[in-house]
Amino acid sequence: MQRSKMIRRLVNAVQSFRQAINLAPDAWSAMLIRTLLKPESQKFVLDVFLSLASHSSYKIPETFWLFMSRFLNYLDKKDTL
Protein backbone atom coordinates (compact mmCIF):
# COMPACT_ATOMS: atom_id res chain seq x y z
CA MET A 1 0.00 0.00 0.00
CA GLN A 2 2.75 2.46 0.97
CA ARG A 3 4.79 1.58 -2.11
CA SER A 4 1.86 2.24 -4.46
CA LYS A 5 1.28 5.64 -2.79
CA MET A 6 4.94 6.51 -3.26
CA ILE A 7 4.83 5.51 -6.92
CA ARG A 8 1.62 7.51 -7.44
CA ARG A 9 3.26 10.61 -5.90
CA LEU A 10 6.29 10.14 -8.14
CA VAL A 11 4.10 9.81 -11.25
CA ASN A 12 2.12 12.90 -10.27
CA ALA A 13 5.33 14.87 -9.73
CA VAL A 14 6.69 13.88 -13.14
CA GLN A 15 3.40 14.81 -14.81
CA SER A 16 3.33 18.20 -13.09
CA PHE A 17 6.95 18.84 -14.04
CA ARG A 18 6.20 17.90 -17.65
CA GLN A 19 3.22 20.26 -17.69
CA ALA A 20 5.36 23.12 -16.34
CA ILE A 21 7.99 22.49 -19.01
CA ASN A 22 5.32 22.54 -21.72
CA LEU A 23 4.07 25.94 -20.50
CA ALA A 24 7.51 27.61 -20.69
CA PRO A 25 10.00 25.37 -22.53
CA ASP A 26 12.65 28.04 -23.14
CA ALA A 27 12.91 29.06 -19.50
CA TRP A 28 12.94 25.46 -18.24
CA SER A 29 15.46 24.28 -20.82
CA ALA A 30 17.96 26.97 -19.91
CA MET A 31 17.47 26.36 -16.19
CA LEU A 32 17.81 22.58 -16.52
CA ILE A 33 20.98 22.85 -18.57
CA ARG A 34 22.57 25.21 -16.02
CA THR A 35 21.51 22.96 -13.17
CA LEU A 36 22.68 19.72 -14.75
CA LEU A 37 26.14 21.14 -15.37
CA LYS A 38 26.72 21.42 -11.61
CA PRO A 39 28.50 18.43 -10.02
CA GLU A 40 26.02 18.39 -7.12
CA SER A 41 23.14 17.92 -9.53
CA GLN A 42 24.94 15.16 -11.39
CA LYS A 43 25.54 13.31 -8.12
CA PHE A 44 21.90 13.81 -7.10
CA VAL A 45 20.61 12.42 -10.40
CA LEU A 46 22.94 9.46 -10.02
CA ASP A 47 21.71 8.86 -6.46
CA VAL A 48 18.10 8.92 -7.63
CA PHE A 49 18.87 6.56 -10.49
CA LEU A 50 20.72 4.13 -8.25
CA SER A 51 17.90 4.21 -5.68
CA LEU A 52 15.38 3.38 -8.37
CA ALA A 53 17.63 0.62 -9.67
CA SER A 54 18.06 -0.92 -6.22
CA HIS A 55 14.28 -1.00 -5.71
CA SER A 56 13.64 -2.32 -9.18
CA SER A 57 12.14 -5.76 -9.48
CA TYR A 58 14.36 -6.48 -12.48
CA LYS A 59 17.90 -7.75 -12.17
CA ILE A 60 20.46 -5.35 -13.58
CA PRO A 61 23.31 -6.97 -15.51
CA GLU A 62 26.77 -7.01 -13.96
CA THR A 63 28.18 -5.15 -16.98
CA PHE A 64 26.02 -2.15 -16.09
CA TRP A 65 27.54 -1.97 -12.59
CA LEU A 66 31.04 -2.26 -14.06
CA PHE A 67 30.27 0.63 -16.38
CA MET A 68 28.87 2.72 -13.50
CA SER A 69 31.95 2.00 -11.40
CA ARG A 70 34.25 3.15 -14.17
CA PHE A 71 32.10 6.22 -14.80
CA LEU A 72 32.13 7.20 -11.12
CA ASN A 73 35.91 6.79 -11.00
CA TYR A 74 36.16 9.00 -14.09
CA LEU A 75 34.00 11.69 -12.45
CA ASP A 76 36.03 11.48 -9.26
CA LYS A 77 39.31 11.92 -11.15
CA LYS A 78 37.82 14.79 -13.17
CA ASP A 79 36.80 16.61 -9.97
CA THR A 80 40.29 16.32 -8.49
CA LEU A 81 42.02 17.83 -11.54
> Which pLDDT tens digit goes with each residue over 10-53?
889 989 988 988 999 999 889 989 998 999 998 998 888 888 77
Residues 44 and 79 in one domain: yes
Whether residue 52 sits in one domain with residue 31: no
Residues 6 or more apart whose Cβ sits within 8 Å of residue 21: 28, 29
Q: Looking at the structure, tell me whether residues 23 and 60 fall in a common domain.
A: no
Range of the domain at 79: 38-81
What number of other Cβ atoms are within 10 A of residue 18's Cβ?
A: 10
pLDDT category of residue 79 using cuts at 50, 70 and 90: low
Between residues 48 and 56, the one the model is more confident about = 48
Is the pLDDT reported for residue 58 higher than 70?
no
Q: Are residues 42 and 31 in the same domain?
A: no
Among residues 23, 42, 20, the alpha carbon closest in space to that of 33 is found at: 42
> Do residues 30 and 3 both lie within one domain?
yes
Residues 20 and 53 in one domain: no
50 and 78 housed in the same domain: yes
Q: Domain check: are 23 and 58 in the same one?
A: no
- pLDDT at 81 > cutoff 70: no
